[in-house]
Every structure is written in structure tokens, then in C-alpha cells.
Structure 1
Amino acid sequence: MKNFAMTFGSMKSLLFSLIAIMFLTLTACDSNDDAIPADNLSADSGDEEVIDGYFEDTDDVVFEANDQVSTTNGRIAIGRDHSLIRCAEITHDTENKTITIDFGDGCEGPGGKIRSGKIIITYTDRKYVPGAIWVYTLENYTVNGIALEGTKTLTNVTGEESDYLSFNKVLEGGKATWPDGLFATREVNKTFTWIREPNPIDDEFHVEGEASGVTKNGMAYEMDIVSKLIYKRKCRRAGVHIAVQGLKSIVKGDSEVLIDFGDGECDNLVTITKDGESEVVDLTDKRRDKNS
């Protein structure tokens, strides 16, 4: 069941489709994890979560584009209503291995997100092939009015003997600028691993790594995933879109905030600790994009 020699051979086409579906759902877990409310202890973690969400949104778009363009050359038509790129113009230059996703002056996707500008991708091979490298840059790109800049390199680091697909993602020169002119910067190095199980409902998505930057209030921070963040497909189906296990540390100046996502139960509860004081926060009704 977990043999990659067979997976990338006779079952290649089926696996590509399944992987695309899984990554569009599971990476959405990470990209939507941007709503820790700005109250009391959790205010210290809010900016990091928000900017992370906007940059992870670009991954969702790129993964879907990868699935849609396949080996087709030229302009690609996307017609599905639920597609993240349904209103974008997609072109694929197979000779130069370049994909351009152009949202124009702005169009609304699922969930009400309005994207504009371009994501330009260069690649060495299909994303799901071990060793493949994808580099994508943002050109006048915005999400809900927030301008994003930077270059992201995604490398398929799945080992030849590995049971699971793994990707390393590095963001360099990341910057988010709000309509009022305030901005935040971000650098990221994370690894994502898809844990496949015999029953797909039991699949998990594990995230490790670190990030750093400056918030829009001018505060430098460092984020470290102390204990890998675990997202579960069955929890997403139950309406829980955040990690359900793992520990994240955010350091600003001399202050450290710990965000504990729990012990694997499908709930929207996180425990936030600062200076020995802890607060349990229920994110169920507080998940929203923050534009200010």
C-alpha cells in the first residue's frame, strides 16, 4: 500500500489525482490557520499566524495549478466553481517549464478571497516526482487587498525508500503590505509530510520547521515548531481546520509565547502560554481573515 515503486508506476495517474485532492484539503488546513484572536496572551501570536496564512494560500493555488495543467501546453481553461483558480488565466510553457497564473485586476475565488496579479512558476519536473524543484515568484500579487512579495522554493524531498511524500518549502524575501501602508516581513523553512494510511480518512499531514520576520508593528519575531504540527483529514471533515497536535514557539524580544494545539483530539482548542500564564482559546467561532 505504501510502496513508491508501484505508486509511481502502474498507479501513477490515480495517485496524482489523489495527491492533488489531499494537498488541496490538507494544505488548506495550514493556510487557514490564521485566526488566533488578538486578545490577551494570543495577541502576541496573531501577526505570525496571519502572515503565515496569506503566504500558505499561494501554495494552495500552485498545487491546484500543477494538477490542472498536467502536460498541456498553452492557455488552460478552468471551469469548476470550487476551483481556487477558476477565474485566473493559466498558461503553460512546456518547453521552458514555466506556468503563469494570472488573476488580472482581481477576481473572487471560493470562500470570498479576492486575488489579483500573477504567480509565476518555473519547475524541473512534476511536483509529485521525488527530487522535483518548483520556484514561484509573485508579481503584483494581492490577496484580499494585501500585497505579497517573495520567492518560494518547493523541493520534493521524498526519499527513495520513504513510505510518505515530503516537501521542503523555503520562503525568501517574504513581505506583506496592508492597504494602509503597514507591512510585515517573513522568511520560512518548513517541511511537510503526508502520512498515508490504508483508510484515507486516517491520513495525516505533519509540519516541521521555522520562520522569522518582523510584524507590521515593527516587532521582530522567531517562530519554531517545537513539536511537529499534525493535521488530520478526519478532523477537517468534522469542521476542525487547525492542527490538532503539536507545539509552536513564538519569540518576540525577551518574550516567548507557546501555542499548544492539543493531544490529537478533533477540537478547535489551543492553549497559549506566556510568562507562566496559560489561556485556553476556542477558535471555533473566531476563524476569519484579518485585513487590519
Structure 2
Amino acid sequence: MKSYVRNMQITGLSISLLLFTLIGCDREQVEVLDDSTGINTSQLQASDESELILEEMINIGDDIYAADELSFTNGKSYNTGFLPSCALVTSVIDGNSKETKIDFGTGCELPNGNVLGGILIFNSVKDTDLATKTVLLTMENFSFNSVQIEGGATIVRNRSNTAGNPNSEINFSFKGIWPNDIVRNIEGNRTREWIEGYGSGDWGDNVILINGESNFTTANNEILNKKITIPLRREWSCRFIVSGTIEVVFEGLNYSLDFGNGSCDSKGILTKPDGTSEEIALIRFRR
């Protein structure tokens, strides 16, 4: 068995983060969007924050595995700068298995401003030249912007689809414990296609298209079923979804949430069951 350690250095875009402590109680204090159903911005924002946590964990895995793949293909070191120097990356190879741990310590800020703590663990076979690889994601004492995260995911990573882009199929289930012991759960599936930036050497130009469906359970044990109807576009340099549409089913009624035309902002258009629409803000962790 052999092991090696790699420290990652920051390059490219850097954004400072001011942590915001979410305020909660036994029942979430919320702004009601629709008097007849009770769906509210707090529920939508919490589910969107959960989606961001999932996205960033998978982005980290993408960055690690892309570095290995490109180093194998091109014969040179590959580092996008997405993982800062405070993230200690350790890989251990045992036979045909490879375990990679990313230790963020007690608090390590990504260049897009999110602050992570604890350890993410990615397990897979070691063969770098495989066209398809299954990766198991687990975690130890992991936190994301002060939210404690438990759970994991199975990622089937394909190096190239018919369009020549890397893509992944993901099944996930995790629990988030927000400040004041507010517990929320999310589970579901994702497909992700890496449409821009792969191999460029700079994390800031990476763009992912996301499809899939998930169930989000609020702190009050209410369930939001979310299905992506127009692929969501996530640009790594922006912590928000910049375009795409999801259908949200809550208490048997259908809502539609449109993330806009490509601008990096928290705004979305929520269409209610009665056909009326309004602009809402999904802050994804206030700064």
C-alpha cells in the first residue's frame, strides 16, 4: 500500500464570505407566498441551500477526478485552484482501490466564498483510464457554511458522453443540521453534464448542466418534491443557479420556479397553482 499527500493552491477568482447565522425556532418563522397552501420562501430557500451543498460536494469530486484524468492523459500536473491550500488532499491506494480524503480542518474557504469543515471521502477503483467509474462519497464531521452534514452519495462518472463532455449520474441522501438544531433532509438523483471549462486549468470557467428529481423534507416534516423540467445551469464562479426551471409539488399542488436568463443573482420567478407569478429571492446563505 502506498500513500501520497497533495496540497492545492488558490488561483483565479476569489470572493470573500461573511457568514450569516440563520435564525430558527421549533416552527419556522416564514413569509407565506400563497395563503391557500402555505408554501413559503423559507422552505424554498432551505431546499435551494441543500441543493447548493450537494452541488459543491460533487464539484469537489469533479475537480479531484478531472485532475487525475487529465494528468494521466496529458502527462502533466493539473490544478484549477478550486481547492485552496487549507484543504489537505490525501490519497491512499490499496490494491485496485483508491481512497481520497479532502480535509478542510475546522474551517476552510473555497474561492467562491463557501466555508467547509471536516472531511469529504471519495472511494473508487484506482484505474485512471476507465471510461466509467463508480465513486462513493462519504463524510466525517463535515460542515458547510455552519450546517452539519451527514449522509453520502453514489456517483457514476463517465469521462465522455456522445457530445464529448464528462457527465455523472448521482444518487444521494443526506441530512443537514442548521444552526439552532433545525434538521432538514434531502434525497434524490442527479445527472450532471460538464459543458464548459473541462481541462482549461481554471475553475472559474466551469459550467454544469443539471437534471434530476429530489424530495426535500422541511424542519416541520413537510415534503417538497422538486423535478427539473429545463436543465439548471450552474457556473462555478456563481453560487446561484443562473437559468433553468424546476417543478415543485407541495401539498398536492404544482408550482414552477424559473431561475432566469443567465444572470448571476438570487432571483427567480415562482408561478403558483392559480397561475399568478412573483419574483422571489433564494439567497443561498446570506453574506
After TM superposition, the score normalised by the length of structure 1 is: 0.67
**Structure (1 or 2) with the greater helix fraction:** 1
Query: Equivalents in 1 of 2:161, 2:262: separation in Å?
Result: 32
Q: Which residue is equivalent to 1:106?
A: 107
Q: Which residue is equivalent to 1:50?
A: 49
Alpha-carbon distance change, 182 to 231 in structure 1, aligned in 2, over 3 angstroms: closer
Q: Which residue is equivalent to 1:255?
A: 253
Query: Equivalents in 2 of 1:270, 1:127: separation in Å?
Result: 40
Query: Equivalents in 1 of 2:232, 2:254: separation in Å?
Result: 18
**Structure (1 or 2) with the greater strand fraction:** 2
Query: Equivalents in 1 of 2:121, 2:54: separation in Å?
Result: 14
Q: Which residue is equivalent to 2:227?
A: 224
Q: CA deviation at 1:62?
A: 2.6
Alpha-carbon distance change, 249 to 110 in structure 1, aligned in 2, over 3 angstroms: same
Match of 2:269 among 254, 268, 271: 271
Query: Equivalents in 1 of 2:239, 2:251: separation in Å?
Result: 32
Q: What pairs up with 1:103-142 in 2 under 5 angstroms?
A: 103-125=104-126, 129-142=130-143
Query: Equivalents in 2 of 1:128, 1:248: separation in Å?
Result: 35
Q: Which amino acid aligns with 1:254?
A: G
Query: Equivalents in 1 of 2:156, 2:242: separation in Å?
Result: 23
Query: Equivalents in 1 of 2:87, 2:285: separation in Å?
Result: 21
Aligned length: 237
Q: CA deviation at 1:129?
A: 4.7
Q: CA deviation at 1:149?
A: 0.9
Query: Equivalents in 2 of 1:240, 1:71: separation in Å?
Result: 26
Q: Which residue is equivalent to 1:12?
A: none
8 Å Cα contact 1:164/1:194 also seen in 2:
yes
Which structure 2 segments of 5+ residues have no match?
1-11, 14-29, 34-39, 72-78
* RMSD of aligned Cα (Å): 3.7
After TM superposition, the score normalised by the length of structure 2 is: 0.68
Alpha-carbon distance change, 50 to 128 in structure 1, aligned in 2, over 3 angstroms: farther
Once the two structures are superposed, what CA deviation does each residue of 1:224-274 show, in whole Å capped at 9, x if it has no partner? 0022223569xx6xx795232x32011121233211134x45464532111
Which structure 1 segments of 5+ residues have no match?
1-23, 26-37, 73-79
More relative contact order, 1 or 2 (CA 8 Å, 6+ apart): 2
Q: CA deviation at 1:50?
A: 1.2
Q: CA deviation at 1:100?
A: 1.2
Q: Which residue is equivalent to 1:6?
A: none
Query: Equivalents in 2 of 1:159, 1:71: separation in Å?
Result: 13
Q: Which residue is equivalent to 2:176?
A: 176
Q: Which amino acid aligns with 1:88?
A: A
